[in-house]
Amino acid sequence: IQDKKLAQPLSLCGWTLRAPHGCHAQYMSNMGSVASLVMSVTINEDDDESGSDQKGRKLWGLVVCHHTNPRFVPFPLRYACEFLVQVFGIQLNKEVELAAQAREKHILGTQTVLCDMLLRDAPIGIFTQSPNVMDIVKCDGGALYYK
């Protein structure tokens, strides 16, 4: 529930204690759960168009724990769980960054080979030889207009 006087909606993204969303409460009811502990796994945002309070972060996933009886989770244990999820998020972010760097390195290498083909061969080579122009971007086909 948001106060109508607020200039923009209040985000609870960085908060650890908050009421569950209605659909989560229904989901728990369907499973017979009455207690849950939810921690968000966030990674760095790909672009700077983040509108949340945690600028530069995006939700990657959730760690969700359920129980059929009410449970009290002491603060030190909640804090330790949150710490582990943050460490996991940092490691995951490094893996995502390494994969992006490997893709970029592959694309740059392919571009270099294609430029060499254009200089040495007819332009049709960038479609008929390997690697070809379709190795740079994800696509099922390409077209070349050559006079």
Residue 49, pLDDT score:
47
User: 104 in a domain, yes or no?
Assistant: no
- Indicate if the pLDDT at residue 44 is higher than 80: yes
Q: Residue 31 is part of which domain span? A: 1-72
In a domain, 63, yes or no: yes
pLDDT at 55: 62
The token pair that represents 129 in the structure block: 């030889």
Residue 102 within a domain: no
Residue 55 lies in a domain: yes
Give the span between the Cα atoms of 58 and 42, in whole angstroms: 5
What pLDDT, in 10s, does the model give residues 47-73?
A: 544 444 456 888 899 999 999 999 999
Number of domains the chain contains: 1
Whether pTM exceeds 0.85: no
Residue 4 belongs to a domain: yes
Kindly report, residue by residue over 73-109, the tens digit of the pLDDT. Answer: 999 999 999 999 999 999 999 999 999 999 999 989 9
Q: Give the pLDDT score at 1.
A: 62
